[in-house]
Amino acid sequence: MTGNLSSVEDEKKLPLRASLAASVSRTAAALSRAAGRGDGSVIGGKLGMMIDPDLLAHLAAGRKIALVSGTNGKTTTTRFTTAALSVLGDVATNSFGANMPTGHTSALARAGSTPFAVLEVDEHWLPKVIAATDPKVVALLNLSRDQLDRAKEVAMMAQLWRDTFAKHPGIHLVANADDPMIVYAVGAAPSVTWFSAGQRWREDAHVCPACGGHMERGEADDAHWQCSNGDLVRPTPQWTVDGNAVIDASGTRHELKLQLPGKVNVGNAATALAVTHYLGADTAEAAPKLAEVASVAGRYAQVERDGRKIRLLLAKNPASWLEAFDMAEDAPTLLAINARDPDGYDTSWLFDVDFSPLRGRQVLITGERAYDLAVRLEVNEVPFTHVASFARAVQTAPPGRLEVIANYSAFQDIRAELDRVV
Amino acid sequence: MSSSALQIVWVYPDLLSTYGDRGNMLILAHRARARGIPVQTHEIHVNEALPEGDIYLMGGGEDGPQALAAERLLADRGLHRAVDRRAVVFAVCAGYQLLGSSFFAKGAKFGGLDLIDISSDRGETRAVGELGGEVDPALGLPTLSGFENHGGRTHLGPGVKPLATVKTGIGNDGRTEGAWAGTVLGTYCHGPALSRNPALADLLLRWATGEETLSDMDDTWPSRLRKERLTATGLA
């Protein structure tokens, strides 16, 4: 990363208003951090954009930009891509998960001049961020139900993306062949790298988004699928995964030694390497960089507390709960559920998750909406104990491994109790 | 009941299951088994014929799947035969709209199943948030509590009664919520509506079994959830 001195130098190249805006943005972010009010990405970006509404476009100009979007895996894939791309040069990134234009603006202002930027983008904002940043490549991970009380329904989101890519044929897409919603969103885009990372969750893709017909699909996560009317067919992927290895478009096998758990992260790694390859990196050189990523904004972080080895897993929606159960060890497990604004106010999704993999483990539950979870677990025949707080859970669990699976704001609360682990 | 076990049929989970709709089937089965009533559940996909059952469940869905479900159910007629023999139908959100004479999807009007005297069109705003109110006294149920997320408005004809009078949220039109006639009942409380309304679940079970009362069961967690939600929405 470039330091502050060189960013002042770089601002001489920006229009005067943009230069001032970038400087205010950085100062505000620093003040916010000093005041202990989060990492400052949002307030810094907001102030900068008030002074120069085109600040994001000005800051993006001259960089080779990769965007990462989808319902799940954005933050981790962004982190992997940033690590892998570092073999080519400095990379700016919004590593705090602030994935709307204010966060992008703040990240680019903070990084100063870099040849590359990798930005995680909220699904709804992708069209606007594409227009502002003119990316070389966009990675499309998956689309599934997530916070339906405020998010667009899945098919509407796929259509929004499809319309966007039709207007920007020059962008290269790195896209998930296993998700029919992603394949529909890609549409007739001329330049695509398809990857297959498997799709455990498929309840949102029973119906063809093109024609409403029935989707025919095999049992395996990465099985062939097609619409019964032939409107949409799984493309043949160029990048695939096999165990802990990624197999690239030339058929070369890259064994990974990831610190992050779960099959889903091998898929995220494949996506990151495909993006990095498109931007000119040698995959054999880039792949070992992925092993340096130990945790992502607190996710997967391991913390010792009172003899308990606590591991934090974030699960925000049905698809990501399935992945969390795949990662979690057979150990006492705390589930924490809130329903604040960033979580969505609707807890209905709890009934889309099958919690039966937790049977036989000591299950503790907490959070503002723990009773919604209690009813779900009772019906699911998963015995549990309700505890008033995270601290009580740590006291209740025996010494040793404690897996913590929490949704967004519950996760942030616990992370704050553990002194903002990163 | 039509056989030794209570037959619960979930209609088209591949089309009508937006957000936790499976919950209603799981809760009914759980509450029946807790009373010693044997249960069989059936998930019937859109390319299958509807079997004979005691309780039929329909969930929420996006516009395309809702329109396709109407087309298939009109061709299948299994739900019409079920209503004719007084089987129980419990439908939420898009499934509720399907019960009526017409609904709007993808900007156009579609014919519904015409099983009860309601019709639906589009509201000017989307109704998203907590939904609750006092239930029709004829049903003998406590306050209804749920979460709604829909763009529809539903008009009730003389052949149905509203399920509830709205205290918070929108429901049909800001005044009434849901509808019922005979043993067919629909609501805009979407997804696992029965999780907060165990007494409504038991009403459906009583209708289906013909039992006047069901034995007590441990309702510690549903009761705590109800209390927490009714307090949060000012309905306690």
Q: What is the pLDDT along chain A (422 residues), one digit of tens a residue?
A: 333 444 444 555 677 777 777 777 777 666 666 555 556 667 777 777 776 778 899 999 999 999 999 999 999 999 999 999 999 999 999 977 789 999 999 999 999 999 999 999 999 999 999 999 999 999 999 998 776 555 557 888 999 999 999 999 999 999 999 999 999 999 999 999 999 987 777 777 777 888 877 888 887 777 899 988 888 999 999 999 999 999 999 999 999 999 998 889 999 999 999 999 999 999 999 999 999 998 888 888 889 998 999 999 999 888 889 889 988 999 999 999 999 998 889 999 999 999 999 999 999 999 999 999 999 999 999 999 999 999 999 999 999 999 999 999 999 999 888 875 55
Residue A4, classed as helix, strand or coil, is helix
CA-to-CA distance for A111 and A132, rounded, in angstroms? 18
B34 to chain A, minimum CA–CA distance in Å? 11
- Residue A269: name the closest of A337, A197, A325 by CA: A197
Note whether B19 contacts A346, CB cutoff 8 Å.
yes
What is the domain count for chain B?
1
CA distances from residue B59 to A156, A401, B31, B42 in whole angstroms, order as listed: 19, 39, 19, 14
Q: Is residue B70 part of a domain?
A: yes
Determine contact, residues B156/B118, Cβ cutoff 8 Å: yes
CA-to-CA distance for B205 and B223, rounded, in angstroms? 19
Enumerate the residues of chain A whose CB falls inside 8 A of the CB of residue B129: 149, 345
Q: Is residue B157 part of a domain?
A: yes
- Residue A177: name the closest of A152, A153, A205, A155 by CA: A205
Q: Is residue B136 part of a domain?
A: yes
Q: Report the 10 Å Cβ neighbour count for A414.
A: 25
- Residue B134: name the closest of B126, B144, B124, B125 by CA: B144
pLDDT of the residue at A1:
38
CA-to-CA distance for A90 and A256, rounded, in angstroms? 23
Note whether A348 contacts B190, CB cutoff 8 Å.
yes
- Candidate from A145, A207, A374 with C-beta closest to B64: A207
Q: Report the 10 Å Cβ neighbour count for A294.
A: 12
If you average pLDDT over each of A102-106, B45-49, B224-228, which comes out highest? B224-228
Asked if A151 is an interface residue toward chain B (Cβ–Cβ < 8 A), one would say no
Note whether B23 contacts A351, CB cutoff 8 Å.
yes
Q: Give the ipTM.
A: 0.96
pLDDT of the residue at A35:
56
CA-to-CA distance for A197 and A80, rounded, in angstroms? 15
Phi and psi at residue A123, to the nearest 5°: -55, -45
Give me the DSSP letters along B131-154. EEEEE-GGG----EEEEEEEEEEE
CB-based burial label for A398 (10 Å; 0-12, 13-18, 19+)? exposed
pLDDT of the residue at A30:
65
- CATH number reported for the structural domain that contains residue B52 in this entry: 3.40.50.880
Enumerate the residues of chain A whose CB falls inside 8 A of the CB of residue B149: 148-149, 346
Kindly report the length of chain B: 236
Contacts of A202 (CB under 8 A, 6+ apart): A217
CA-to-CA distance for B89 and B181, rounded, in angstroms? 10
Scanning A154-193 for CB atoms below 8 A from B yields 154-156
What is the per-residue pLDDT across B121-160, written as a single tens digit (0 to 9) for each?
A: 999 999 999 999 999 999 999 999 999 999 999 999 999 9
pLDDT of the residue at B131:
98
CA-to-CA distance for A335 and A330, rounded, in angstroms? 14
Asked if A203 is an interface residue toward chain B (Cβ–Cβ < 8 A), one would say yes
Phi and psi at residue A254, to the nearest 5°: -120, 105
Give me the DSSP letters along chain B. --SSSEEEEEE-TTTS-SSSTHHHHHHHHHHHHHTT--EEEEEE-TTSPPPP-SEEEE----HHHHHHHHHHHHHH-HHHHHHHTT-EEEEETHHHHHTSSEEEETTEEEE----SSEEEEEEEEEEEEEEEEEE-GGG----EEEEEEEEEEEEE-TT-B-SEEEEES-TTTSSEE-EEETTEEEES--SSGGGS-HHHHHHHHHHHH--S-------HHHHHHHHHHHHHTT--
Determine contact, residues B76/B104, Cβ cutoff 8 Å: no
Q: Beta A137-140 vs B39-44: how paired, if at all?
A: unpaired
Q: What is the CA radius of gyration of chain A?
A: 21
CA-to-CA distance for A350 and A361, rounded, in angstroms? 19
CA-to-CA distance for A256 and A283, rounded, in angstroms? 11
Q: What is the CA radius of gyration of chain B?
A: 16
B81 to chain A, minimum CA–CA distance in Å? 25
Domains in chain A, start-ordered, CATH in brackets? 55-292 (3.40.1190.10), 302-417 (3.90.190.20)
Determine contact, residues B118/B160, Cβ cutoff 8 Å: yes
Phi and psi at residue A227, to the nearest 5°: -75, 140
For residue B187, pLDDT beyond 60? yes
CA-to-CA distance for A317 and B82, rounded, in angstroms? 35
Query: How is chain A split among helix, strand and coil, in percent rounded to 5?
Result: 40, 20, 40
Q: Copy the structure tokens of residue A345.
A: 């106010």
CA-to-CA distance for A226 and A215, rounded, in angstroms? 6
CA-to-CA distance for A206 and A176, rounded, in angstroms? 17
Q: Which long-range contacts (CB under 8 A, 24 or more apart) does A289-293 make?
A: A289/A83, A289/A84, A289/A86, A289/A87, A290/A80, A290/A83, A290/A84, A290/A256, A290/A258, A291/A256, A291/A257, A291/A258, A291/A259, A292/A83, A293/A76, A293/A79, A293/A80, A293/A83, A293/A258, A293/A259, A293/A260
Enumerate the residues of chain B whose CB falls inside 8 A of the CB of residue A352: 19-20, 22
Enumerate the residues of chain A whose CB falls inside 8 A of the CB of residue B232: none
Enumerate the residues of chain B whose CB falls inside 8 A of the CB of residue A214: 14, 45-47
pLDDT of the residue at A36:
53
Q: Is residue B79 part of a domain?
A: yes
Q: Is residue B1 part of a domain?
A: no
What DSSP designation does A355 have?
A: -
Note whether A153 contacts B65, CB cutoff 8 Å.
no
Residue A186, classed as helix, strand or coil, is helix
B127 to chain A, minimum CA–CA distance in Å? 9
Determine contact, residues A262/A238, Cβ cutoff 8 Å: no
Kindly report the length of chain A: 422
pLDDT of the residue at B70:
97
Nearest CA in chain A to B221: A375
Determine contact, residues A253/A245, Cβ cutoff 8 Å: yes
First to last CA, chain A: 18
- Candidate from B21, B67, B128 with C-beta closest to A149: B128
Whole domain around residue B41: which residue ranges?
6-232
Nearest CA in chain B to A213: B68
- Residue B158: name the closest of B112, B117, B113, B100 by CA: B117
pLDDT of the residue at A151:
52
CA-to-CA distance for A241 and B52, rounded, in angstroms? 45
Determine contact, residues A222/A257, Cβ cutoff 8 Å: no
Residue A30, classed as helix, strand or coil, is helix
CA-to-CA distance for B78 and B50, rounded, in angstroms? 5
Note whether B147 contacts A349, CB cutoff 8 Å.
no
- For CA atoms A75, A80, A84, A89, the dihedral sign is positive
* Average pLDDT over chain B, rounded to an integer: 96
CA-to-CA distance for A282 and A85, rounded, in angstroms? 10
